[in-house]
Chains A and B, each alone.
Chain A
Amino acid sequence: MSCSNLTMWVSSKPALSDTSSLSCRSFISPFQLPSQNSLPASPSRSSSVSPIHCGLRELRERIDSVKNTQKITEAMKLVAAAKVRRAQEAVVNGRPFSETLVEVLYNINEQLQVEDIDAPLTNVRPVKKVALVVITGDRGLCGGFNNSIIKKAERRISELKALGLEYTIISVGKKGNSYFLRRPYIPVDKFLEGTNLPTAKEAQAIADDVFSLFVSEEVDKVELLYTKFVSLVKSDPVIHTLLPLSPKGEICDINGVCVDAADDEFFRLTTKEGKLTVERDVVRTTTVDFTPVLQFEQDPVQILDALLPLYLNSQILRALQESLASELAARMSAMSNATDNAVELKKNLSRVYNRQRQAKITGEILEIVSGANALV
């Protein structure tokens, strides 16, 4: 071991002025050099990285492969960033619709409160069975995004089990689908797949399914599990009661057992760009200036029938959009971490590579010098 340390010491020394003192030993090192290359690396470098044991050529290959990986992760990060911007745009474009909708709904509810209305979507029944709509992503490589929403779903399922309620799952997104397919003991009503950018059509497909389940009284409550987009670095998995809709715009309380999640909000008007606001109060103030006398062309029930599906759709669409935005943001940060790691790894590998190369050259010089000395 003493000689191995010595070679290391030599190689790291810039000048070779004191070759004479070393030349006597140098005849040992050439024989051991190839196998030694890796050994001396461990004591000197273990502080920064785990020891890297391999030959020069392998090192070069590893550096190349790390370089490629870095390129890929960097590209993925850029793509995710561009997509986040597009997703944000979609949300911004959809905002006037959802804001007006909530405003109108609130306005009409105020006027309808005197009348006794009975719309199918607002029926509050004792809960026996709950449908959970779980929104996951289609792809991996996005950190803990899919995992955290699935974990949330699992936790909700065990909560429901503890309350002695039945449940069924509507899974949206490939990752969730494959997870639930692998677990046949979890009852799944439907598997749906999302596409690149959520549209009203997809929201409609989910809404149709949820609607028929609820109206046919197969389930008594529908909950939406999705990832709420808070900012580019933060997103929370949340549970949100979808049905029964409350015609008065309040959080519905269930008689007897409370199956509402604590973080349940009803009029959810979250905005993007990192600024999160639930604008219920704002909505209220804007509705005040609207004409108090409003004629109803049709029966109030019919009008609510026309409005509530719109509201349901827009809620689902919003959840899909937020989930997508969170997924992309998660992927962006995961990929930027991966790129950073690749840069770091590349740096360490090239350092090891250069040291080894220099050690080899030093060894060869020593060999020549000692050979020359022997001849004299």
Chain B
Amino acid sequence: MTLNLCVLTPNRIVWDSEVKEIILSTNSGQIGVLPNHAPVATAVDIGILRIRLNDQWLTMALMGGFARIGNNEITVLVNDAEKGSDIDPQEAQQTLEIAEANLRKAEGKRQTIEANLALRRARTRVEAINVMS
């Protein structure tokens, strides 16, 4: 039994091939998916996706969206996705620092919400690199 993973963003297909196992961060916590998983539809949070190819783990930063699992097909629809290996560590770290500073400066509800979102995105990207190394 093979499990096929397909990660789609509005711009392109980020991933479309066979995997052994994935760990997905959903709105209600992380779930692991192995072949022959029961059909599930779930909202995907801003967080990292871990992919196992044979004995090798890969990470990917997902920016929130939706996933559907069934028939040994995983379809992940997200606003943006980046492979851990494609992220520039320095740039990600800088973005994180800027996001933290912005949150401290934020005034009013709307700004706080926006700053929080940006911070979570930045943190996810940094995490995606750190898990790798």
| A219 part of interface (Cβ distance < 8 Å) | no
A298 touches B28 (CB 8 A): yes
Residues of B within 8 A of A317 (CB): 10
- Per-residue CB proximity of A294-319 to B under 8 Å, as 1/0? 11111000110111001001100100
Note all chain B residues with C-beta closer than 8 A to A200.
9-11, 79-80
Q: Can you list 13 A-B contacts with CB-CB less than 8 angstroms, sorted by A residue number?
A: A90-B11, A97-B9, A100-B75, A108-B41, A293-B39, A296-B41, A297-B31, A297-B41, A297-B43, A298-B28, A303-B43, A307-B66, A307-B77
The residue of chain B having its C-beta at the shortest distance from the C-beta of A317 within the complex is B10
Chain A residues, Cβ within 8 Å of B101 = none
Contact for B10 among A104, A203, A212, A305, CB less than 8 A: A203
Q: Does B65 contact A (CB under 8 A)?
A: yes
Chain B hits for A294, CB < 8 A: 39-41, 68, 70
Q: Which A residues are CB-close (under 8 A) to B70?
A: 290-291, 294
Contact count band on A: 20 to 34
- Please tell me if A146 contacts chain B, counting CB pairs below 8 Å: no
Instruction: Tell me if A298 and B80 are in contact (CB < 8 A).
Output: no
Judge whether A313 and B10 touch: CB under 8 Å. yes
Q: Are B27 and A298 in contact (CB under 8 A)?
A: yes
* Distance of A100 Cα from B70 Cα, bound (Å): 14
How far does the alpha carbon of A94 sit from the alpha carbon of B10 in the complex, in Å? Answer: 5
- Alpha-carbon distance between A67 and B132 when the two chains are bound, in angstroms: 59
Name the interface size band of chain B: 20 to 34
User: Would you call B8 an interface residue if the criterion is a C-beta within 8 Å of the partner chain's C-beta atoms?
Assistant: yes
B83 CB, min distance to chain A CBs, angstroms: 17
A35 CB within 8 Å of chain B: no
Please name all residues of chain B whose beta carbon is closer than 8 Å to the beta carbon of A290 when the two chains form the complex.
70-71
A96 shortest CB reach to chain B, Å = 6
CB of A108, distance to nearest CB on chain B (Å) = 6
On whether the beta carbons of B77 and A310 are closer than 8 Å, the reply is yes
Interface centre among A90, A98, A101 (most CB of B within 10 A): A101
CA distance A297 to B41 in the complex (A): 6
CA distance A314 to B80 in the complex (A): 12
| Shortest Cβ gap from A203 to chain B (Å) | 7
User: A205 to nearest B CB, angstroms?
Assistant: 12
Q: Given A93-B13, A96-B8, A104-B68, verify A296-B42 contact (CB < 8 Å).
A: yes
